[in-house]
Amino acid sequence: MLPVLVLSSVLIWLSARGEYYTPGDDFGYYLGLVGGVMMLVLLLYPLRKHVSFLNKLGAINHWFRFHMLLGIAGPALILFHSKFTIGSLNAGVAMGCMVLVAGSGVVGRFMYRRIHHGLYGRRATLQEMQAQLGVQEGDVRSKFHFAPNVEARLKAFGDLAHAHPDGFLRTTWQFLTISLHARLVHSQCMRDLKKILGSHATQRGWERHKLRRRLATASEMISTYLTAARHAAQFSVYERLFSLWHILHVPFVFMLVISGVVHVIAVHMY
In tens, the pLDDT along 39-53 reads 888 777 777 766 666
Say if CB 113 and CB 105 are below 8 A apart. no
Q: What is the pLDDT of residues 112-144, one digit of tens each?
A: 777 765 544 444 554 555 455 444 555 555 677
Flag whether pLDDT at 266 surpasses 80.
Answer: no
Q: Could you state, in order of their start, the residue ranges of all structural domains in the chain?
A: 1-85, 126-245
Residue pLDDT, tens place only, 180-202: 999 999 999 999 999 988 888 88
CA angle, residues 52, 56, 60, in degrees to nearest 5: 95
* Orientation of helix 89-114 relative to helix 60-82, angle to 10°: 150
- The neighbour count for residue 246, using CB atoms within 10 Å, is 12
The overall average pLDDT reported for the chain is 76
The pTM score is: 0.60
CA dihedral 157, 160, 161, 164 (to 10 degrees): 180
Per-residue pLDDT, 122: 44
Q: What is the pLDDT of residue 242?
A: 79
Distance of alpha carbon 64 from alpha carbon 76, whole angstroms: 19
| Rounded Cα–Cα distance for residues 148 and 146 (Å) | 6
